[in-house]
């Protein structure tokens, strides 16, 4: 805690600081609430994505043995590029998965087994879901870090800065009040001495 000067200027500075803190605190609280909402939204989306991954795995389990076939499906599920943009949500820049481009088109129906088309779709869906999961995990981490920082700021204002400033204002006002009372007492004493000197002269 910084040393406080017991002057009228310091009292004004402390009042100005208190006004600033009280003006910014509602904004920080609102940002905290919005960040909590976004973290919940991303967490639900992540849970939904993981659920879809489990459903996909369950749906391909009956014909997974076909992947032992010598026909190679990996090149059809290889990702050529992933396009990611940045979106500002609640003052936080979040990476958003825009587009996934696969390296090759679907296999030719004449040169591939009958099940290959469905298998490639399943593989691509799995790759897409894994990329979505990674993106949502990254979003949640960024949001959680910003939420932590904002919560620290709210706590700093609520629990330290505002009470400290109120205490400083109280102490300065008491000191200035005591000074004023002492000045009045000195003035009365001086007046009494002066009037006694005039009477005695």
- Quick check: helix, strand or coil at residue 72? coil
Q: Nearest-CA neighbor of 89 among 139, 134, 47, 46?
A: 139
Token readout for 125 is: 């869906």
The β-bridge partners of 92 are 89
Q: What is the pLDDT of residue 6?
A: 92
Q: What is the pLDDT of residue 178?
A: 92
CATH class assigned to 8-183: mainly alpha
Residue/partner pairs of 23-31 with CB below 8 Å, 24 or more apart: 24/157, 25/154, 25/157, 25/158, 25/162, 28/150, 28/153, 28/154, 28/157, 29/154, 31/90, 31/91, 31/150
Say if CB 154 and CB 32 are below 8 A apart.
Answer: yes
Say if CB 138 and CB 165 are below 8 A apart.
Answer: no
For 19, residues 6+ apart whose C-beta sits below 8 A from its C-beta are none
> What string of DSSP letters covers 133-149?
HHHHHHHHHHHHHHHHH
pLDDT in tens, the chain (201 residues): 568 899 999 999 999 999 999 999 999 999 999 999 999 999 999 999 999 999 999 988 877 776 666 667 777 788 989 999 999 999 999 999 999 998 877 766 767 777 777 888 888 899 999 999 999 999 999 999 999 999 999 999 999 999 999 999 999 999 999 999 988 888 888 888 888 777 776
Separation between Cα atoms, residue 27 and residue 157, nearest integer Å: 12
Q: Please, is 68 exposed, middle or buried when counting C-beta atoms within 10 Å of its C-beta (0-12, 13-18, 19+)?
A: exposed
Determine how β-strand 79-89 pairs with β-strand 92-102. Answer: antiparallel
Say if CB 4 and CB 166 are below 8 A apart.
Answer: no
């Amino acid at each position: 805690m910084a040393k406080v000067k017991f002057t009228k200027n310091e009292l004004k500075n402390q009042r100005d600081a208190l006004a600033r803190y009280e003006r910014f605190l509602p904004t920080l609280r609102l940002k905290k609430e919005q960040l909590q909402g976004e973290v919940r939204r991303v967490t639900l989306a992540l849970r939904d994505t993981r659920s879809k991954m489990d459903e996909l795995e369950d749906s391909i389990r009956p014909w997974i043995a076909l992947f032992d076939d010598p026909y190679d499906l990996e090149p059809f599920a290889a990702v050529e590029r992933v396009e990611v943009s940045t979106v500002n949500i609640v003052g936080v820049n979040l990476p958003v998965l825009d587009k996934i481009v696969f390296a090759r088109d679907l296999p030719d129906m004449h040169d591939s087994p009958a099940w290959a088309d469905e298998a490639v779709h399943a593989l691509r869906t799995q790759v897409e879901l894994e990329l979505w999961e990674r993106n949502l995990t990254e979003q949640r981490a960024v949001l959680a870090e910003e939420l932590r920082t904002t919560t620290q700021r709210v706590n700093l204002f609520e629990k330290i800065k505002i009470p400290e400033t109120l205490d400083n204002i109280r102490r300065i006002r008491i000191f200035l009040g005591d000074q004023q009372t002492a000045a009045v007492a000195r003035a009365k004493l001086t007046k009494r001495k002066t009037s006694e000197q005039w009477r005695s002269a």
